[in-house]
Amino acid sequence: MGLFSKPEQFFGLDISGTSVKVVELKHGSGKPQLAAYGGMVLPAGSMQSDSEVDLQNVSNAIRQVVSKAKIQSTHCVAALPGSGVFTSIITLPNMPRNELADSIKWQAKQYVPSPLEEVILDWHVVGEVAPSGAAVGAQPGAKPGEPGKGQPAKEIEVMLIAAPIALVKKYMNIINASGFKPLALEIEPLSLARSVVGVRAEPVVVLDIGQAGSEISIVENGVIRLNRNTTAGGGALTRAISQSLGIDANRAEQFKRDFGLREDKLEGQIPKAVKPVLDTLVSEIRRSIEFYRDQRHGAVELREMVVVGGTARMPEFLPLLSGTFGVEAKIGDPWANVNYPASLKDQLNEIAPSFAVTVGLSMREI
């Protein structure tokens, strides 16, 4: 055991705008084993506020979920909402890795929209530009930050992440007040890349459509090439149904889950009501795909879209995505690389899209 021994176990903690979700895995040889999981809805508006009482409510919710799920560990890895964090791919001349940090700090001023004193900077090498000028990406199987082998690269591509200090402090305060020790905070697309994409050469569009909004990312060779957010999510769909049909939010939620985008139900009123929200989502996804094609000079085809977040289960939603983008859209299964008792299969399947971030957090290598 080293002087600074790592904790044996930790749990993944996803504090979303509306809920708290936790997953604990036991790591050994082979697939990790599910040890515990749980979730609960937060008191309305508590995460949107900065008041002491509201944040205390979130800390209490974390304690309750952990205790109910019978989680054993005292340490956790948590996600930061993508909407609060700036990310961008920047290109730099190739240089020794020990010079990179200084160069990135220098360059960051041009890219990050807020003053550098107000953010925490992080970065990963995501790819290399070969001497021929062609983008080659990181080596398949390489961990983020490990460049490809072969001829020395001419330029390197770096994913720059700038998290507002105020946001990081808010999350750290909530977690500390809950009595658990945060080992790391990471952006949601990193967790998703781990749980529902893994390392594969073909690029994949990942769409996380939860309650507060949607997060779109493109993952290639196990690294995130792009990420983008929109408020077009499950909450906006329910509000649109409620307003358009003149019904309360609970009924609108039920219609959304039961009928989704089916034209043959309620005379097609639901797909009509939610069209503006879906139009926003579609145009954000389209922009992301175009941006990625530009980065890659059109050389790479996108054929697959992995959809997670509770809204992934909305009837007729996946066919709409497949048809609109000419890709194969499918629900991401974060449990695919986890061992669990067969008796839990149905229950875990049901919550799979909602737990994609949480499972990814619990899979992080510490």
Ligand X SMILES: Nc1ncnc2c1ncn2[C@@H]1O[C@H](COP(=O)(O)OP(=O)(O)OP(=O)(O)O)[C@@H](O)[C@H]1O
Provide the β-strand partners of residue 160.
88, 123
x/- site string to ligand X, residues 337 to 356, per CB under 6 A? Answer: -----------------x--
Asked if residue 311 binds Mg ion (CB under 5 A), the reply is: no
Whole-angstrom distance, CA of residue 349 vs CA of residue 366: 27
- Partner interacting with residue 178 (select from Mg ion, ligand X, none; CB below 5-8 Å by kind): none
CB-based contacts of 244: which residues, under 8 Å, 6+ apart?
A: 269, 272, 273
Q: Residue from 22, 34, 212, 289 that binds ligand X (CB under 6 A)?
A: 212
Q: How many chain residues touch Mg ion (CB under 5 A)?
A: 2
Among 148, 203, 222, 234, binds ligand X (CB under 6 A): 234
User: Is 256 near ligand X (CB under 6 A)?
Assistant: yes
Q: Which is nearer to Mg ion, 16 or 195 (CB)?
A: 16
Length of the chain: 366
Instruction: Tell me how crowded residue 45 is: count the other CB atoms within 10 A of its CB.
Output: 12
C-beta of residue 63 within 8 angstroms of C-beta of residue 175: no
Query: Residues near 250 by Cβ (< 8 Å), separated by ≥ 6?
Result: none
Shorter beta-carbon distance to Mg ion: residue 15 or 66: 15
310 is an interface residue for ligand X by CB under 6 A: yes
Q: Is 265 in the site for ligand X (CB under 6 A)?
A: no
- Of 16, 46, 227, 242, the one binding Mg ion by CB under 5 A: 16
> CA–CA separation, 281 vs 20, rounded Å?
25
Q: Could you tell me the smallest distance in angstroms from the CB atom of residue 232 to ligand X?
A: 11
If one asks whether residue 210 binds Mg ion (CB under 5 A), the answer comes out as yes
Residue 294, token pair as written in the block = 């530009």
DSSP assignment letter at 179: T
Contact assessment for residue 10 and residue 366, using Cβ atoms and an 8 Å cutoff: yes
Q: Does residue 18 belong to the site contacting ligand X (CB under 6 A)? A: yes
Which positions touch ligand X (CB under 6 A)?
16-19, 210-213, 233-235, 253, 256-257, 309-311, 313-314, 354
